[in-house]
Amino acid sequence: MTVVNAWVGAAQPNSFRVVAKITGSSARLAVSDNAGLTGPAYYGPVTATGQGIVSITATGLTPARRYWWAISEDGGPLAMLVSGQCQTLPVTGEPASFTFIASGDAGLTPQYPGTGATLNNNRLSNHPVFDTIRAANPMFFAHLGDLHYYDLGSGNHGIAGGASLANYRRAIDDVLLQERQHALYRNVPLVYTYDDHDYGPNDSDRTAAGRENVQRVYRERVPHYPLPAEDGIFHAFQVGRVLFVVADSRSDRDPNADPDGPSKSMLGSAQMAWLEQLLRGSDASALCWLMQVQWISGFVDSWGGFRHEQGQLKQLLGDTGWLDKIWMINADKHSLGIDTGTNNLWGGFPVFLSASLDAGGGDNNGNYDRGVSGGRNRYTRFNVQDQGDQILVNGQAMIGISPWRSHSFSILTSTPGPGPGPDPDPDPPAPPRTPPVITDLVEWYGCDLISGRIIMELPHMTGTVSRVLGAYTSSSLTMPIPIAGPGAVGPAAFGATQPGTSMIVCVANDVPVWAGAVLVRRGGTDGTLSLGCVSLEGYLDRRYVTDHSWIQRDEVSVIAAGLARDATTEGIGLYIDATPSGVLRDRTYVDQDDATVYSRLRELMAVQSGPEFTVDVVWGDETRTWFAKVLRIAPRIGVASTTPRAVWTSIGEPDTQYTLTEDYSDGKGANHLLATSSGEGQDRPQSAVHRLINPGWPRWERRWSPGSSISERSTLDAHARAELRQLANGATTVELDARVNAFPRIGVDVQLGDDAGADLVGHRHPGGIRRSGRLIGYELDTRASRFKPILWAGGESWL
């Protein structure tokens, strides 16, 4: 007697389900909280069907806990070779953080075809990607169709018997005969819905000959969640406060060739009615729609052929309040793709294209604003962090173990502060489309630090604020607090300036140009309230890095973004916008080093071609009732240009004044460099000596530690080379002083990090100079309505 195959699914907070094929007459399910399966609880016995199938549910389990399981046939020993594990879901309705992986399309593979005696090995896959997903240990794996490419009923691929019940049963056995797939489906709970090739022929619909058979086998063999209808396999489940809808896009689908209109449907009337009832009745806080076919494609076998019903779905999502709480995952195209909502004209929510596991024919074309990447070995990993008042979602599209692109966004779940407000759009929110209002006045707002919602305007605030690329700055602000009269300050003003929970935002020319967290508030006898604020990068210096080990991973999208995520749990609601660099590095970090996220990001930034970072604050949406905080990490922040459009001039309207500073002080100039890491004596890693001493110059030495986590000499050498290039000729900066409302205006004409220009005449340069530099920082004197950009040109001369 043998357990032929088994897989696990339908995980709930207190249960999960195993479906197995056995050669005996009955089986029990053993479940334990340890890998050795000692002291297990038994469920069953269950009598096998005529095909040897047993479906057994383990109940009475603890939420969010890992369990191990095995099958015992006819009261015999446990079949440990076909055993597995399963993590139960967190408590439904309570905030929970988790990771899951989604992909689809596994077959059509010349390199890793199926193995064993199958109907057609070339229509199956045994690709290593299944091992990669299993090693990532997600809470569940969502397979979005094309489990195989048998195309039953097509008469193709040398498969006899067509769309028979026996062939559909054999197809499941053939998939589970693939060692890597079988191992994944035994150890990670499966959520599965079919698409065309595993449902019937290519582009199949409700007229497919095998319609009833494939549904019957799905019910027999797949460890699925409860199905709400006798026809079709659509269903839903919930993880914490996130509702997952699993679509069935084939069972009731009208033929693609039918003319589009009110009578044409992809989902069918039963699924549409169920969906409306589900969306109206659910108390979940976010929605993830697992939809096999492409939502934003114009392809005939996608939603492009069903635009009328797609419009109905958009209307339903809007009417039930889900449009700004949803993201969708598709497969089908054999490609990765990310659209942040820009090109999704049917709802504006994020759409992730996640395929293929192992199927050819993908391409790099498609209407996805973050791009498309076709090919095999692809999936998307979603990290969901429920922080109570918001749910942060990061979708990282993967090619093997390497990140390709990612997108992060937030879904607000509650309304802190004095009144209701809107939920944010996907990260990063688009700036308002109305043109900016140019004015020499600035506006101040007191906001909730986490949500960014405006509590009140602070019209009489004054002070000087500043920003620097890759660093935080401090500012002192003041505001009058009269007791009586038209300017009297009520209790809301104190709620809007509360240290630790409030954020002050400065808006110039209708654009947010600075935001700071309130850390200190002083007030007493006199009529003034003083606020000590730190720019939002300073929050990263109050959060500590946990244990991490990365080997040859992208320094931006993996390492820097991973460090940044250490600051997001119970954080200030940062969106992370990390642009992959293509530079792979090794990094190991230890919690006990007590290093802050800020210090580690600064360390990365200091290395040769290291990533830059800054926290931008932008209008959340066109209602202008809240601000989003976007932590941008990229190989370079801002626009590089040999002929910058933004040029400050000392002649005419800008009335620009300037100060040129050439600096060879310690940390600003050196020509003999040595980089070290932590340790003492011979145990301290250090670089080679790097020097660039020009004739007539003495040696100016610098020894410094770019970071305590660096153990490789090659990395220290890279730091030293980069530092030498920066310091060999000293630092040259020009500080400008111009009108706030004169071109070029910060946030309107130029952004932090952009290349900009200066056309200046002064006593230092009576003949005038016209040079380019990089906007690495700025200061805004709000009392005088003066803007003071800082342009940096490295060691290049401004003479």
Type of residue found at 241: R
- Do 55 and 17 form a contact (C-beta atoms < 8 A)? yes
Q: Flag the least confident range among 293-302, 413-422, 558-567.
A: 413-422
Closest residue by Cα to residue 326 from 404, 242, 416: 242
Q: Flag the least confident range among 172-186, 251-265, 409-423.
A: 409-423
Q: Flag the least confident range among 49-53, 527-531, 722-726.
A: 722-726
Mean pLDDT of 71-81: 93
Instruction: Please give the CATH architecture assigned to the domain spanning 89-412.
Output: 4-Layer Sandwich (3.60)
Radius of gyration of the chain (CA): 30
Mean residue pLDDT of the chain comes to 88
DSSP 687: P
| pLDDT score of 721 more than 90 | no
Closest residue by Cα to residue 175 from 160, 190, 161, 163: 190
Closest residue by Cα to residue 478 from 780, 783, 789: 783
With b for 16 or more beta-carbon neighbours within 10 A and e for fewer, the 408-435 pattern comes to: bbbbbbeebbeeebebbbbbbbbebeee
What integer pLDDT is reported at residue 474 of this predicted model?
A: 94
Name the pLDDT band for 412 (thresholds 50, 70, 90). confident
Mean pLDDT of 161-173: 98
Which SS3 state, helix, strand or coil, does residue 492 take? helix
Top-confidence residue, 610 or 319: 319
What integer pLDDT is reported at residue 331 of this predicted model?
A: 97
pLDDT tens per residue, range 113-133: 999 999 999 999 999 999 999
First to last CA, the chain: 89
DSSP string, 421-445: -PPPPSSSPPPPSSPP---S-EEEE
Strand partners, 787: 738, 780
Mean pLDDT of 704-728: 80
Strand partners, 514: 506
| pLDDT score of 428 more than 60 | no
Model-level pTM?
0.58
Count, residues in the chain = 799
Name the pLDDT band for 484 (thresholds 50, 70, 90). low
pLDDT tens per residue, range 652-693: 555 688 888 888 898 889 999 998 887 767 778 889 999 988
C-alpha 425/C-alpha 453 separation (Å) is 14
C-alpha 208/C-alpha 205 separation (Å) is 6
| pLDDT score of 458 more than 70 | yes
Peptide bond preceding 32: is omega within 30 degrees of 0, i.e. cis? no
Q: Flag the least confident range among 190-204, 377-391, 465-479, 674-688.
A: 674-688
Identify which of 127-131, 364-368, 410-414, 726-730 has the greatest average pLDDT.
127-131
What are the sequence ranges of the domains in the chain? 89-412, 425-637, 639-664+730-799, 669-726
Name, in order, each residue with C-beta under 8 angstroms of 114's C-beta and a sequence gap of 6 or more.
Answer: 107, 120, 121, 122, 123, 124, 125, 126, 174, 177, 178
- Do 786 and 657 form a contact (C-beta atoms < 8 A)? no
For 651, the token pair is 């002649």
C-alpha 496/C-alpha 445 separation (Å) is 8
Element (H or E) spanning 498, and its range? none
Closest residue by Cα to residue 148 from 111, 104, 116, 187: 104
For 435, the token pair is 């043109």
For 634, the token pair is 């990229």
C-alpha 123/C-alpha 158 separation (Å) is 11
For 13, the token pair is 């907070």
Ordered alpha helix ranges (H), 590-688: 597-606
Name the pLDDT band for 517 (thresholds 50, 70, 90). very high
**Cα 315–Cα 385–Cα 412 angle in degrees, nearest 5:** 40
| pLDDT score of 181 more than 80 | yes
Name the pLDDT band for 488 (thresholds 50, 70, 90). low
- Do 332 and 357 form a contact (C-beta atoms < 8 A)? no
pLDDT tens per residue, range 352-388: 999 999 998 888 888 898 889 999 999 999 999 898 8
- Beta strands across the sheet bearing 627-634: 574-578, 627-634, 612-619
What integer pLDDT is reported at residue 743 of this predicted model?
A: 75
Name, in order, each residue with C-beta under 8 angstroms of 525's C-beta and a sequence gap of 6 or more.
Answer: none
- Do 397 and 333 form a contact (C-beta atoms < 8 A)? no
Name the pLDDT band for 225 (thresholds 50, 70, 90). very high
Mean pLDDT of 739-748: 74
DSSP string, 246-283: E---STTPPPTTSPPSTT--SSHHHHHHHHHHHHHH--
User: How many C-beta atoms surround the C-beta of residue 766 within 10 A?
Assistant: 7
Name the pLDDT band for 758 (thresholds 50, 70, 90). confident
- Do 397 and 336 form a contact (C-beta atoms < 8 A)? yes
User: How many C-beta atoms surround the C-beta of residue 363 within 10 A?
Assistant: 12
| pLDDT score of 432 more than 70 | no
| pLDDT score of 59 more than 50 | yes
| pLDDT score of 630 more than 60 | yes
Which SS3 state, helix, strand or coil, does residue 184 take? helix
- Cα separations (Å) of 407 from 98, 307, 352, 355? 17, 26, 9, 16
DSSP 179: H
| pLDDT score of 183 more than 70 | yes
